[in-house]
Each structure stands twice: as C-alpha cells, then as structure tokens.
Amino acid sequence: MAEETRLLKGNEAIAHAAIRYGADGYFGYPITPQSEIMETLMDEQPWETTGMVVLQAESEVAAINMVYGGAGCGKKCMTSSSSPGISLKQEGISYLAGTELPALIVNVMRGGPGLGTIQPGQADYFQAVKGGGHGDYRVLTLAPASAQEMADHVALGFDLAFKYRNPAMILADGLIGQLMEKVTLAPQKPRRTEAEIRKECPWAALGKPADRAPNIHTSLELDPTVCEQHNLRFQAKYKAAEENEQRYEELCCEDAEYLIVAFGAAARISQKVVETARKEGVKVGLFRPITLWPYPITRLNTYKNKVKGILTVELNAGQMIEDVKLAVECKVPVAFCGRMGGSIPTPQEVYDALKELSLRV
Amino acid sequence: MENIKKSENIVFEKPRLINDTPMHYCPGCTHGVAHNLIASVIDEMGLAETTIGIAPVGCAVFAYKYVDIDWIEAAHGRAPAVATAVKRLSPDKMVFTYQGDGDLAAIGTAETIHACNRGENIAIIYINNAIYGMTGGQMSPTTIVDMKTATCPYGRNVALNGYPLKITDILVPLEGTCLVTRESAHTVAAIKRTKKMIRKAFENSLAGKGTSIVEIVSTCTAGWKMTADQANKWMVENLFPAYPPGTLKDI
C-alpha cells in the first residue's frame, strides 16, 4: 500500500496506521467511543495481507494480557479501550512496565467516574501520567489533537515503546476518536521477520537456541535489594525519557501576553479562542503538550517570566493544571476552565475565562 | 564408582532441561515431578528451542527458574490469555501454560474457559492440590467439603463457601478442547501415564487440534500439614473421590 490521503475518523485512522506500521497484533474488547478501531481492523482483515493478528478478547483484562504475551516475544502489539476498560487494564500495564516490555495502549477517553458517559472526557489524565496501576512506573503518554495525529502517534508510540522498552499510551478523547478529517496514511511497512526480531530484540522469548541463556520475562523479585536495583534502572530510564522526549506544539506564542495550555479536544477548542482573541487584539497563544508524560516542562518553564497569566483548559475538574503550575514554578497566575462528565466547553466559555483571568492579573 | 556411571548402568537421570538451581518446592510436593515430566517431554520431542512456557502466580511462579526454556511469567490467572497471543503470533512454536487451582479455577476462570472455547492450540498443565500453597494454605476453589485450610479453619462449609469447583469437567463440553484428562503423580504407573498425556497434549498443540488440558491431582505437604507419604494416602482417599483420575475427553 502506497501513501494515501483519506477522510477518516480518528479511531479508523488508528486502525489503518497500525496495519501500515507493520504491527504484529491487536487485542481488544468493544467499548464506546472507540469500537471503530477493532471494527476497522476486522473489516480490513490484515491477517490476509501483512499477517497481523487481530483478536476480540473476552475482556479488557484478557486483551492487555494478550498484549503482554505478544510483547514478551518482541512483537509489536497493541490494545485499545475507553476509560472504564482502561481501568481494567491497569494491572497489565503495571506488569508491562515491571517486565520492561514495549506495547501500545490507546485510551479514547469518555466522561467518568464509573460507567460515566459515552461522551468525550479527559478525566483519565492523572491515571495515565501519574501511574494508574501499582508500583513506581511511568507510561510514555501521547495526546493527539487530530485524526492525522491519531495515525501518526501509532508509529511514534510504538517507536518510543521499543526505544525505552516501556508501555506507551495514546491518550485521546471521544471527540478526537469520532472526529472525521483528512488523514494521510504512511506507506505500508513490512512486519519484521522472526530473525529480525531476534536481532533487534535479543530479549524476546521466541524459543531458546542452544547458545544462549533462557529469556525469562518476570516482574517478581523477592530480594528487596535486587528489586530496588530494578527500580533504580527503571527510574534512570524515565529520567532519560524526560530529558529526550518532551514534545509540544505552539500557536501564536512568540508575542503572547497570555497562554492557553490544552491538549486533545480542549486544544482544538482553544485554537478557535486564540483566533477570536487575536482578532480582538488580545495577545494570546496556545501551548499544546503532545507528550503528557514526559510533560514538556522545559519549554513551558520559559514562559514563567514572559506571560501575564496562563489558562489551562481541560475536559475534567482540573488535572493537568497541576503539572502546568509545577512547570512554571507557580511564578505566574494559572487559572482553569473545564467541563466534566462528557460536556465540552464552548470557545465562548473559554474566552470568558481568559478575560476573567486578564482582569485578575 | 566409574562402573556405575557407565551409560548402560544408568536407570534414572535428571532431565537435560532441568538445570541445577535448587528447587524451592517442599519435600513430597508434586510440582517437582510435574516439572521433570514436562522437561522430559519437551526434550524427547525435540522442542527445547521452540517451546515457550507461561508460568503462573502461586508456588509454580518460579517454574521458569528450573526448566531451561524461554518463559513468560503471567499475572495471576492470565496465563491462557498470554499463551493465546504467544501462540497466535508464532503458530510454529509449542506454547504451554502451567497453572495451579487458585490461578486457573478462581481468578483465571474466564481466561481458562475462553481460551479453551476458542480452541487455542496450547497445552494447559493444571496442578490441582485443592489449596493456595504459596500464600500459606488458604481455601481454593477446589478445596473439598470439610477440608480444613487457613481461611476455612473449621473445614469447607458449603453454606458459607459453596462447592468445590470441578473445572476440568466444565471444559469437556467446550468444542475447542480436544484432550481433557485428569491424572496424578503418586505412583510410578501414574507418573508414566501422566507423562504420556503431557506428550499427547503437546502433540495435539503442534497438530493444531485445539486446547489440551492435563489436570494433575497433586499434594501440598506444607499446606495440608502432612508428610509426603501421608499426603499421597490422603490424596487417594479424599481428593480422588472428588476428582477421579481418568480421561474425560480425547478426540
């Protein structure tokens, strides 16, 4: 398949991108608003073309453990779900981190808590970037804000996961998942052969040749001193990711007096606010984190003495705002504008919040 | 001494794939025998370089320390899901799970039933000793009525705890299973039969016939607070009536 531009939902873009990236396996369980990912994969039947395995599991728990099994063999495996299903996957994500296995998890967030709603939300921010499962671990977290980025982040997510031997997550929301936009899909990449996997991932459990020790994937270590050594290794890896992988996009930030910080659907709404405000002469810029972990602290920090105030816009009660405050060391006022439970703020609501902030500072 | 070591004089030796790591299992525990049988079958079938084992949570969590093949240690109960992906992504490999009754018949019930129902081409070796050994001898789903454990100190009470789960019987009518058998390892004859069934399970997996389950009714000397000899006798007298050895399905 050559490069191709199509009109796709964000969810569909993920499915097509996974096939074209040369992913080895997808394991999932239906849940709104992301079911199009597995539906598209089943419709495309990639097992007939690239050999990619697609399987509908009996639960989210089984699906993430299938991903864990495939990851242990050095295969590029992914799963997708939405908020309640992602909660069920947390044990598996902790095991992936604890065994240092790479995998891609997609969360197309809906409003919560509990069953919540099927409308878009961003209330799983804390869960994604602060841990989620048990133990000291981090998940490389990407926040797409367009159908194009849904496709692009599949490749980026897998690449980062294998670079750091750590789970990566695409933290999208129901709006970005359902949004239909023009998407340019990359040309088909071949799936790696077993010989290539053995070379690139010498840790892969693909059967033990006579000339090497067994490859064993386990997160169990009863000796606390050894277990701590493992943790120190993980932390060093996370530090390297924090130093090398901070990603963001800036819109009209050069001369900005006010900054809006938002990701995903909230960033799309905020983009409109920047346009409106600029027309009215208000110098506002949009800072959009693309990696939520590692958070783009280094760049955001440079605004602490440049802008008069920062408005954080989220589809939750205010979660990322804590990282924004840390990034600017609370040296500039940081206000919040958000809606919860599947509701989305209008550009006018955000603009009003911005004006209110400007009157305060 | 040198005469004794001559190959024609050797009547028993450690399977080649069992390494020299001292086992943590208690004297009289069935796990050691079961490990030896699996290691022998893998070696005899020439599968040492193409087998991937999926270890459980429980006493056998450390199975990967003793048998020199590639292993993935699964979260509690999830071994059949892990094995599903490993096998589907590499259909030419031999993939088996090794699970206890707590792992397979309590927390992993859904994964067990659905992997079997899909007819995954894997072998499941199921050690049933009717107790949680690793955590100190608590009641398991297969603990028999009136049997005393740390969490049913007055004996398993049906009104309080329900009935022992005969999960192997539940797997028989599933169309994805090709071999469902209940074995033991307390006599030379039983050990030979169990080995034969493990081999058959492995052959079925390679032939793509579906899921094979070999239950091994086992002892837990520490959990049952018995000597090895007492445990074997108690197993025959008390566990066999609830879990009678024999092949339930072989197609």
How many other β-carbons are positioned within 10 Å of the β-carbon of residue B13?
Answer: 8
Q: What's the pLDDT at B5? A: 73
What residues contact B217, with CB distance under 8 A and at least 6 apart?
B128, B129, B182, B183, B184, B235, B239, B240, B243, B245
| Confidence at residue B7, expressed as pLDDT on a 0 to 100 scale | 79
Q: State whether residue A91 sits within 8 Å of chain B by CB.
A: yes
pLDDT of B3 > 80? The answer is no
Contact B71 A218 (CB under 8 A): yes
Q: A68 and B78: CB-CB below 8 Å?
A: yes
- Lookup: tokens for A269: 């709404």
Q: Which residues in chain A touch residue B75, judged by CB atoms under 8 angstroms apart?
A: 65, 68, 91-92, 95
Q: Which residues pair with A216 in a beta bridge?
A: B71
Residues ≥6 apart with Cβ < 8 Å to A300: A248, A261, A287, A289, A324, A327, A328
pLDDT given for residue B12 in this prediction: 81
pLDDT given for residue A119 in this prediction: 97
Asked if A61 lies within 8 A of B86 by C-beta distance, the reply is no
Work out the minimum CA distance from B128 to partner chain A, whole angstroms: 23
> For A20-61, how does the pLDDT look when each residue is reduced to its tens digit (9 = 90+)?
999 999 999 999 999 999 999 999 999 999 999 999 999 999
| B positions 65-94 inside 8 Å of A (CB) | 68-75, 78, 81-86, 88-90, 93
Q: Is B178 on the interface with A (CB under 8 A)?
A: no
Q: What pLDDT is attached to residue A153?
A: 98
Q: Alpha-carbon distance A352 to A260, whole Å? A: 13
Q: Which residues of chain A from 197 to 226 reach within 8 Å of chain B, CB to CB?
A: 205-210, 214-220
CA distance B33 to B38: 9
Residue with tokens 């794939």: B17
Minimum Cα–Cα distance from A75: chain B residue: B89
Q: How far are the Cα atoms of A231, B42, B200, B207 from residue B45, in angstroms, in the given order? A: 39, 5, 11, 13
User: What percentage of chain A exceeds 90 in pLDDT?
Assistant: 99
Per-residue pLDDT at B226: 96
Kindly determine whether residue B52 and residue A205, on different chains, have CB atoms separated by under 8 Å: yes
Nearest CA in chain B to A27: B85
Residues of B in contact with A24 (CB under 8 A): 89
CB contact under 8 A, A220 and B89: no
pLDDT band at B67 (very low <50, low <70, confident <90, very high): very high
Angle between helices B109-118 and B79-89 in degrees, nearest 10? 30
Cβ-Cβ contacts under 8 Å, A26 against chain B: none
Interface test with A, best of B19, B65, B84, B98 (most A CBs within 10 A): B84
Interatomic CA distance for residues A219 and A298, integer angstroms: 32
Residues of chain A contacting B78 with CB distance shorter than 8 Å: 61-62, 65, 68, 92
Q: Is the CB of residue A72 less than 8 Å away from at least one CB of chain B? A: yes
pLDDT higher than threshold 80 for residue A154:
yes
Is residue A131 very low, low, confident or very high in pLDDT (cuts 50, 70, 90)?
A: confident
Contacts of A67 in chain B (CB under 8 A): 85
Q: What is the pLDDT of residue B43?
A: 97
Measured CA distances, A251 to A288, A301, B157 (Å): 8, 16, 68
A217–B72 C-beta distance less than 8 A? yes
3-62 of B, contacting A, C-beta below 8 A: 48-52, 54-55, 61-62
β pairing state of A216-217 and A180-185? unpaired
How far apart are the CA of A356 and the nearest CA of chain B, in angstroms? 50
Nearest to B89 among A53, A68, A216 (CB): A53
d(CA A192, CA B31) in angstroms, rounded, equals 38
Top-confidence residue, B126 or A1: B126
What is the rounded average pLDDT of the residues B122-135?
A: 97
Query: Distance between terminal CA atoms of chain A?
Result: 54
CA distance A164 to A103: 11
Chain B within 8 Å of A29 (Cβ-Cβ)? no
pLDDT at B1 over 70: no
Check pLDDT > 90 for residue A133.
yes
pLDDT band for B13, please (50, 70, 90 cuts).
confident
**Mean pLDDT of chain B, nearest integer:** 96
Whether A273 contacts A321, CB under 8 Å: no
pLDDT of residue A361: 86
Residue among B48, B47, B39 at smallest CA distance from A210: B48
Rounded Cα distance between A172 and A202, Å, is 32
A187: three-class secondary structure by DSSP: coil
Tell me how many residue pairs between chain A and chain B have CB atoms under 8 A apart. Answer: 126
Distance CA A64, CA A86 (A): 9
Interface of B with A in 93-112 (CB under 8 A): 93, 110-111
CA A134 to CA A113: how far, in whole Å? 19
